[in-house]
Structure 1
Amino acid sequence: MSLFNNHLGNPVFRYARNTIIVVLLLLFAIATLFPIFFMIMSSFGDPVEAGAISYSIWPGKFSLDSYKFFFDYSEYSFRWIWNSLFVATIIMISNVVFATMAGYAFSKLQFRGRNVLFAVLLSAMMIPYQVTQVPLYILIVNIFEIQNTYKALIMPSLVTVYNIFLAKQFMSSIPKEILESAKVEGANQLKIFFKIIMPLSKTVMAVMAILTFMEAWNTFFWPFLVTNTMDMQTIQVGLKNFRFANTTYFAPMMAGATISALPMFILFFSLQRYFLEGVTVGAVKG
């Protein structure tokens, strides 16, 4: 054991260990960033090369023609971007509002069946997303009959159990003495919620807003199911229109994917602090 400890304290051993760790991290970073690099580089390719069977990492000619082709090919390109922006924004707002209210109720209000109801909600998180798609599709299409509308795109995601869980866990850490003092001063539940709870919960609300917007913007499967006309498709679904039976407009598709990813890049780099807080906010002990 002492011999092993001596090796650990050896500067050469520490240098070799650190070098291996750095190399592994670099390899992991390259593997993670390569798809993004390939997407951006391919978007500057010539649209004429779109139907090529073999694709190269580096385009033969750099141009912005693929971006122009993306917008000129379909009159719905701007509509796809608008649909994604509108749907993601509404879903983000509704989740922040409803999840914050539910989190406050579960963490600070006493009512019959509170723990049972919260346990049921947590159990719903265990159900795989794909399992709920068939009954949800039947509900939207056959019962509510709102297929191919904004309602169909938005309603299933008005509030998620995960956001309720985040809000509840965060608000459980707010001292009860603050709320009791407000009650003594004559504040009702609405005033306590809007004047005390919401200002103290800005961090978790920002985290929920960011994560929810990203999820709603990037989702493909559900918009693909409930939309059947090009004017109602989101940007993620609209990109499939560049693929045909005999060929694929590869470079314009990558240009559209780059445009689709641009808001996420801006969101991430401008709000990195909230992304990091989002990793640990659900771990706050109540």
Structure 2
Amino acid sequence: MKAQSQLNMKKKFNRSSNKKWFHELSAFKIIATLLLILSALFFVFPFYWIITGAFKAQVVAITIPPEWFPLKPILDNWVTLFSNPVWRWTFNSFFIASSEMIAVCFVSATAGFVLAKKVFPGRKLIFIVLIAAMALPKQVILVPLFTMLADFGWVDTYKGLIIPAIGWPFGVFLMKQFSQTIPNELLEAAKIDGCGEIRTFWHIVIPMLKPALGALAIFTFMLSWNDYFSQLVITRSTEMMTLPLGIATMQGEHKTDYGVMMAGAALASVPMIVIFTLFQKSFTQGITMGSVK
């Protein structure tokens, strides 16, 4: 009887402990969900403010307290925006960002694979120089870069805006780290089956690097699209301006039309949202694979 009583007390204690743990876990989930919702609203609100501000008159846009939703939406801001060569600026931004994205992914994949899987003299030294280059901000090398572009005659050209960004050290570093996860036995089996270097790289290495390439594509496109400082230095004519640069020129010296600026910002955000949506799955896989490694 005494043993049975102790067993019942133990079961009751376990049930109460499990019940208490379940309630604590539920409370944690509720708090975590609320924090995630608040964080999401915090990051989405600026985008909401840009979209609604694009349909507000100048007087309403600077009113305090603010008008959280446009009660009398207008299209004048969009008409003013498209009275400028916006389509030309959009084409320039998309062409430059897309070209950089494709070129950076290809060069980074080849260079990263070579540094990870090929043995040759100076490989470690090249990797050290690559890491050191990642520590240099772009502003430090912008003056000598501009001098080189001027000597080549590439100022205010697509070549001057695209080619300097192709050898991105971070892209090579990222591809090298992912290339190290490719089994050597797989490459040796491909070589035994008669695959050359190019065929092995294209049919075996590239498919295995797709998650990392998706993440790199998003990073490259967004950085190129928002690279205001370099584009400001290299471009000269209105026809070669990118969308962020062109929108910035519409800001007056003594007056800023916030409605037009917000309309331009809303237009400039569309391609980045589309690119992220297209590569979202690969981006997520690339980040998680890196964390597991």
Which stretch shifts more, 201-210 or 77-86?
201-210
1:24 equivalent in alignment to 2:32:
no
| Secondary structure of the corresponding residue to residue 51 of structure 2 | helix
Larger radius of gyration: 2
C-alpha displacement of 1:203: 2.4
1:59 equivalent in alignment to 2:67:
no
Which stretch shifts more, 226-235 or 195-204?
195-204
1-structure distance, mates of 2:290, 2:170:
9
The corresponding residue for 1:3 is: none
1:68 equivalent in alignment to 2:76:
no
C-alpha displacement of 1:111: 0.7
Between Structure 1 and Structure 2, how many residues are aligned? 276
C-alpha displacement of 1:278: 3.2
Could you list the runs of 5+ residues in structure 2 that have no partner in the other structure?
A: 1-16
C-alpha displacement of 1:79: 0.6
The corresponding residue for 1:234 is: 242
C-alpha displacement of 1:40: 0.6
The corresponding residue for 2:159 is: 151
| Amino acid aligned to 1:241 | T
| Amino acid aligned to 1:267 | I
1-structure distance, mates of 2:106, 2:47:
33
| Secondary structure of the corresponding residue to residue 230 of structure 1 | coil
The corresponding residue for 1:127 is: 136
2-structure distance, mates of 1:259, 1:100:
32
User: What pairs up with 1:29-40 in 2 under 5 angstroms?
Assistant: 29-40=40-51
Match of 2:97 among 88, 98, 104: 88
Fraction of identical pairs, as percent: 33
CA 1:125–1:12: 2 relative to 1, 3 Å: same
C-alpha displacement of 1:144: 2.8
C-alpha displacement of 1:261: 0.4
| Amino acid aligned to 1:225 | V
1:113 equivalent in alignment to 2:115:
no
**Structure 2 length-normalised TM:** 0.84
Which stretch shifts more, 14-23 or 31-40?
14-23
Could you list the runs of 5+ residues in structure 1 that have no partner in the other structure?
A: 1-5
Answer yes or no: is the 8 Å Cα contact 1:166–1:282 preserved in 2: no
Answer yes or no: is the 8 Å Cα contact 2:111–2:172 preserved in 1: yes
1:195 equivalent in alignment to 2:203:
yes
Match of 1:103 among 112, 116, 133: 112
Answer yes or no: is the 8 Å Cα contact 1:148–1:227 preserved in 2: yes
1:78 equivalent in alignment to 2:95:
no
2-structure distance, mates of 1:129, 1:170:
25
Over the aligned positions, Cα root-mean-square deviation in angstroms equals: 2.6
User: What pairs up with 1:162-201 in 2 under 5 angstroms?
Assistant: 162-201=170-209
C-alpha displacement of 1:16: 4.8
Answer yes or no: is the 8 Å Cα contact 2:211–2:283 preserved in 1: no
2-structure distance, mates of 1:182, 1:169:
21
Answer yes or no: is the 8 Å Cα contact 1:170–1:204 preserved in 2: yes
Which stretch shifts more, 20-29 or 100-109?
20-29
Which stretch shifts more, 185-194 or 275-284?
275-284
2-structure distance, mates of 1:109, 1:49:
63
2-structure distance, mates of 1:63, 1:157:
40
CA 1:126–1:68: 2 relative to 1, 3 Å: same
| Secondary structure of the corresponding residue to residue 245 of structure 1 | coil
1-structure distance, mates of 2:184, 2:140:
39
Answer yes or no: is the 8 Å Cα contact 1:92–1:213 preserved in 2: yes
Cα-to-partner distance string for 1:67-105 (whole Å, 9 max, x where unaligned): 222102x1x211100000110111011111111110111
Match of 2:280 among 269, 272, 283: 272
